[in-house]
Amino acid sequence: MSANSIRIERGILIAPGSNFHRKTIDIFIENGRIADISETPISREAEVVVSAKSRHIMPGMFDLRCQLKDPGLEHQETLETGAAAAAFSGFTGLAVQPTTEPVTQTKSQVDYIIQKAKNTLVDLYPIGATTLDLNTEDISEMYDMRAAGAVGFSNGDKAYPSSGVLMRALLYTKEFGGLVMSHAIDEGLMPKSSINESPTTIHTGLKQQPKLAETSQIKREIDIAAYTRCHIHFSHISSAESVKIIREAKKAGVSVSCDVSIWHLIYTDDAVLDYDTNFKVSPPFRTEEDRQGLLAGIKDGTINAIVSDHNPQNIENKRVEFDYAANGINGLQSFYAVYATHLSEEIPLDRWVELTSFNPRELLNLAKPDFTIGAEANLWIADAETTWTLNKTNNRSKSENNPVFGNEVQGKCIFVVNGNKSEHYES
């Protein structure tokens, strides 16, 4: 939907740092920009009027890690369907992983994503492949991709094949920027593993992964970052020990950041005991002690961002034996609802905004949403009380591999606006 003027009435702004933070306000948007913002009601006529009804107005969320599978795997997701699912949950920006076919590793492939994103409500930012085909010792044309619009570099769901290739990548990007992201797993310690190694899972007969596979790799890569004096970002960490290692590295002055999947904040390895392949993810769900350690990292600032880790899979990849099923959860559309249902008492809204909107953009050197007159409109309205069910009728994604699919959840995006594009989800 596109409208020249929008008036949002009586919403509570949650935007730490704004003069209107925690205040009930009206916002008037004209030609994609904030034309007025006030604690007193605004009476200007508008094409679209949205009553926030004391709901929360928040900066548009930004997902630091998602897979949209386009080009090449459009039967699982396209850029358009992924963006539509994201907007439904209040996202206005996505960092798109290079896990496509072919891999996103040239400037023309980066440009493909940027051009298609011009028609979506949600801004799409390409993450280029760090190594050729995500599995070689050769680093990609990172400079050309950066010049074309790539905001960071990643090996997707694969670890860097050697310490040497990571060191070269860090040094190569040092001069021109671009976040280098790591899926830190020592694959030699986890050949074809499916679940966490713990007393809870020992009887399942499934192949198990020790936490050591993650922590040993994080230690090694932090040492490389310290040696090169470069920044490294660890994606979807999963254990309390990983949080401790990164916390100590930050205190020691190493330039390091990290994110965690929202799913690892609510589930533990007992979720796999029913052999439901929707709970098969990489890294696997760990113990309750690890879940609490991740939450502690959220609260003390060690963890910089919460991500959806959106990884849509077609039914043929999931409706098989657990060991043979593909990893991943389709997580964009239910992202806010999972927070409102399971995490809102542990993570305050102020911190949620920092973790899902401000910090991800800061890590990528992107502008944060601003609530001042003249700023481009970038916001959404959240109703924390509304209950709904993600199902075949309202699913915007092409895939359904989500453990909350078909179950009632609480918390819904009512309205989202990004520049001159907007969508209203309340009838």
**The domain that contains 121 carries what CATH number?**
3.20.20.140
Same domain, 45 and 66: no
Same domain, 415 and 376: yes
Same domain, 123 and 169: yes
DSSP 393-416: TT--SS----TTTTSEEEEEEEEE
Same domain, 199 and 50: no
What's the total number of domains in the chain?
Answer: 2
Q: Does a structural domain hold residue 401?
A: no
Instruction: Please give the chain's pLDDT, 427 residues, in tens.
Output: 778 999 999 999 999 999 999 999 999 999 999 999 999 999 999 999 999 998 999 999 999 999 999 999 999 999 999 999 999 999 999 999 999 999 999 999 999 999 999 999 999 999 999 999 998 999 999 999 999 999 999 999 999 999 999 999 999 999 898 999 999 999 888 777 889 999 999 999 999 999 999 999 999 999 999 999 999 999 999 999 999 999 999 999 999 999 999 999 999 999 999 999 999 999 999 999 999 999 999 999 999 999 999 999 999 999 999 999 999 999 999 999 999 999 999 999 999 999 999 999 999 999 999 999 999 999 999 999 999 999 999 999 999 999 999 999 999 999 999 999 999 997 5
Q: What is the pTM of this model?
A: 0.97
Q: Does a structural domain hold residue 324?
A: yes
Same domain, 132 and 26: no
Q: Please give the span between the terminal C-alpha atoms of the chain, in angstroms, as a whole number.
A: 14
Same domain, 185 and 294: yes
Please give the angle made by the CA atoms of 290, 296 and 302, to the nearest 5 degrees: 105
Same domain, 20 and 74: no
Instruction: Kindly state the tokens that stand for 292.
Output: 């609490």
Same domain, 149 and 186: yes
What residues make up the domain containing 53? 5-57+372-386+410-424
Same domain, 22 and 140: no
Catalytic residue list contains 186: no
Please answer whether residues 135 and 109 qualify as being in contact, where contact means their C-beta atoms are separated by less than 8 angstroms.
Answer: no
Pairing of strands 195-196, 256-261: unpaired
The strand pairing partners of 257, in sequence order, are 233
Q: Does a structural domain hold residue 136?
A: yes
Q: Does a structural domain hold residue 253?
A: yes
Q: Does a structural domain hold residue 391?
A: no
**pLDDT score, position 209:** 94
d(CA 266, CA 346): 11
DSSP 139-176: B--HHHHHHHT--EEE-TTS--S-HHHHHHHHHHHTTT
Active site residue: 309, 350, 370, 383, which one?
A: 309
d(CA 299, CA 61): 19
Task: Check which CATH number belongs to the domain holding 19 and give it.
Answer: 2.30.40.10
Q: Does a structural domain hold residue 276?
A: yes
Please answer whether residues 116 and 124 qualify as being in contact, where contact means their C-beta atoms are separated by less than 8 angstroms.
Answer: yes
Q: H helices within 330-372, ranges in order?
A: 335-338, 349-353, 359-363
113: nearest Cα among 75, 164, 85, 77: 77
Same domain, 184 and 333: yes
Dihedrals φ, ψ of 67, to 5°?
Answer: -115, 125
Q: Does a structural domain hold residue 338?
A: yes
Same domain, 41 and 138: no
Same domain, 102 and 53: no
